[in-house]
Amino acid sequence: MRVLGVAIRAEPRVFAVSVLASALYGAMTVGTAQALGWATQHTVLPAFDSGHTTAGALTAAALVILGVAFLKALGVAGRRFYAGLMQYRMQARYRRAVTRQYLRLPLAWHQKHPTGQLLSNANADVEAAWAPIAPLPMAVGVVFMLLVAAVSILLTDPVVAIVGFLVFPAIALLNVVYQRRLAPVATRAQRLRAEVSEVAHESFEGGLVVKTLGREEAETERFAASAEALRDANIAVGRVRGMFDPVLEALPNLGVLAVLLIGSVRLEAHAMTAGDLVHVAYLFTLLAFPIRSLGWVLAEVPRSVVGWDRVRSVLDAGGSMPYGDAELKGGAPAALRVEAVRFGYEPSEGAAPADVLRDVSFEASPGRTVAVVGPTGSGKSTLTSLLVRLVDPADGTVLLDGLDARDVRAGGIAATAALVPQQTFMFDDTVRGNITLGLDVPDEQVWAALRLAQAEGFVAALPDGLDTRIGERGATLSGGQRQRLALARAVVRRPRLLVLDDATSAVDPQVEQRILAGLRESEENEAATVVVVAYRKATIALADEVVFIEHGRVVDRGTHAELLERSEGYRNLVNAYERAEAEQEALEESAAEVVEADDAQAIAEREETGGAHATGAAQATGAAQATGGGQATGDVEETGGVGGRA
């Protein structure tokens, strides 16, 4: 009742209209029985008694029956339309509410909830929560109909009414047992539906890993296990329904038989007329179907409550990020200061957070470039999330233009700062759509951003330029091309603070240097303050200051040259990266030399076989004259094939 009450309060007018239409249907259901009883008593029986009837009597009976039928049909149409309208409105409203809550909740909350579960909350659980809405107006109308029917039957014959009404407590008792049996299995089925979504989503997301490592069979078995568990749970639900549905269907019909039996005895005793018996018996026959609507509502209640609880768990989730009303000034590059920041992830429910960053402090003056350098796992990516307020620190503050990021209005950070993460995501859209993401910017500004990101050349070479669709996740592009589009996506917004989390790792070092130099000098980018997580020595050397992080702490700060001189850990780390790149370049050069040698050998072989090719062709011609063109053709093709292989 609490769940249904939410829907009624949300859509009171639509619900009222649907209930009125259902009440009209219920009243006309009783009216149909009365119309048939009246026609039987005043038209059919007199015709049997006299042996003839009149056109007026037949017309009157027909008009009564047709009029009642028309009003009943009007009630059915109104009930179904407005009940469906109410149901779909509630589903749409709560899908929006759930997805908006996803956007409000911090990244830390999302890290503890699988994507498949979130999809199930927004889709299957919302649908289940409002599934009883469709039959609800009919059920309410049935209650009204039962009251009207009870009064009508009692006024017709109290004895027959009492016998017939015994079916109602039997139906109520059966429904109570039904709900108790169905609730646990429906709950399990709803939970397993979310698990199947989780496994499917992981399989789709990890498609490349599954295929490259040959895990198709194992992944298929994992999905099959979840799907079969859901199948078994749904079968269990079907068994319960299959057990109770026939009994629920049979009880009203048994009531009709009891009414006919007692009514025939009462008719012989002249305690009631034939018209009264037709009226009562037909009324019970008509009531059998509407009474089932109560069962439909009750049948959906367990799934509805489970779905509602899962939806409410999202809507009631805490941890939403607080916002103030402070405004960040525009125009000049942002001033960034990080003061004594501490942050840790919660590995599981109730476990103490494991600190990733501890007492981190540094600053970036407006228009300056700061490189964050550190070994793997030192907290660099976590730090970038804090700078653009994807998460909030447990202690300490992140200040932009002297304002605590938590005091800035909602949307203020996103309008000022832009993050280009390690893993770039591309939508199945055009190049323009992936860069603007709905932002209304002229193409000149888009091309300027592409030029700054060193992506102008390859985009211009695409078949349709900016209008080229790049496929799901940018499948038609290389990793470096995707990174450059992601950078252009950030730059086109002209941020005052640009944070690059190893965002150019897939591009050539020369291209990376041109990109970073352009970010410092470009007029289009208005010389934004840049914080870059970097590994390459040449890239780090472009920064005005380097922040060296180890084990979640700032170990040292200074220019690249200063740190090389005084910090052994920094020197070892940067030189290790440089040695790895040098080895990779040596391997690539060696491979290129091998290819060049192979090409030279192939050219020499082709030159040597040139004469043989001519001789073979002459011999083939002679062979064609002597033995036929088929063999000659084969000789020519074989000789040509040697040259082709060379």
* Residue where one domain finishes, among candidates 538, 566, 594: 566
Cα 272-275-277 angle, rounded to 5 deg: 60
Sort 493 into a burial class: Cβ within 10 Å, 0-12 / 13-18 / 19+. buried
| The pTM of the whole model exceeds 0.85 | no
Residue 85, pLDDT score? 92
Report if residue 459 sits inside a domain: yes
User: What tens digit of pLDDT does each residue of 438-452 get?
Assistant: 888 888 888 988 888
Task: Provide the CATH number for the domain around residue 19.
Answer: 1.20.1560.10
Residue 479 domain boundaries? 336-566
pLDDT category at 299 given cuts 50, 70, 90 is: low
> Cα(183)–Cα(181) distance, rounded to whole angstroms?
6
Residue type, 494: R
User: Quick check: is 469 in a domain?
Assistant: yes
Residues 471 and 428 in one domain: yes
Q: For the chain, how many residues are written?
A: 646
Q: Which of 518, 534, 566 is the last residue of a domain?
A: 566
Residue 241 within any structural domain of the chain: yes
Q: What are the structure tokens assigned to 555, written together? A: 């170990």
Which strands form 403-404's sheet, in the order they lie side by side?
Answer: 354-364, 336-345, 395-400, 403-404
Q: Strands 545-550, 369-373: parallel, antiparallel or unpaired by DSSP?
A: parallel
277 & 363 share domain: no
pLDDT surpassing 80 at residue 527: no
In a domain, 609, yes or no: no
What pLDDT is attached to residue 621?
A: 40
Question: How many structural domains are present in the chain?
Answer: 2
Nearest to 335 by CA among 250, 398, 257: 398
Residues 102 and 187 in one domain: yes
Q: At what angle do helices 274-315 and 216-268 cross, to 10 degrees?
A: 150
Report how far residue 99's alpha carbon sits from residue 125's, in angstroms, rounded to the nearest whole number. Answer: 13
Indicate whether 386 and 426 sit together in one domain. yes
Q: Provide the mean pLDDT of the chain.
A: 78
Q: Do 523 and 376 fall into the same domain?
A: yes
CB 15 within 8 A of CB 66: no
The residue among 527, 544, 566 that closes a domain is 566
Same domain for 348 and 492, yes or no, is yes
Integer CA distances (angstroms), 215 to 198, 203, 228, 229, in order: 18, 10, 20, 21
On whether both 80 and 210 belong to a single domain, the answer is yes
> Around Cβ 54, how many Cβ atoms within 10 Å?
12
Q: What is the pLDDT of residue 37?
A: 77
Pair type for strands 354-364 and 336-345: antiparallel
Residue 542 lies in a domain: yes
Domain co-membership, 305 together with 193: yes
Return the structure tokens found at 561. 């040259």
pLDDT of residue 620: 41
What's 364's domain CATH number?
3.40.50.300
**Structure token pair of residue 346:** 């919660």
Selection from 359, 417, 324, 344 nearest residue 553 by Cα: 359
Residue 473: DSSP 8-state: G
55 and 132 share a domain?
Answer: yes
Q: What is the mean pLDDT of residues 548-577?
A: 86
Question: Are residues 299 and 436 both part of a single domain?
Answer: no
Cα dihedral 500→506→510→515 (10° resolution): -30
Same domain, yes or no: 304 and 376: no
Calpha distance 338→359 (Å, rounded): 10
Q: How far apart are CA 390 and CA 607, in angstroms?
A: 64
In this predicted structure, the answer to whether residue 574 has a pLDDT above a threshold of 60 is: yes
Quote the pLDDT of residue 81.
Answer: 92
Average pLDDT (24-51) is 81
Clarify whether residues 221 and 363 are in a common domain.
no
Residue 623 lies in a domain: no
Q: Would you say residue 63 lies in a domain? A: yes
In this structure, how many other beta carbons lie within 10 angstroms of the beta carbon of residue 242? 10
| φ, ψ at 281 (rounded to 5°) | -65, -45
∠ Cα 37 43 44 (to 5°):
80
Answer yes or no: is 466 within a domain: yes
Res. 548 pLDDT band, cuts 50 70 90: very high
- pLDDT category at 292 given cuts 50, 70, 90 is low
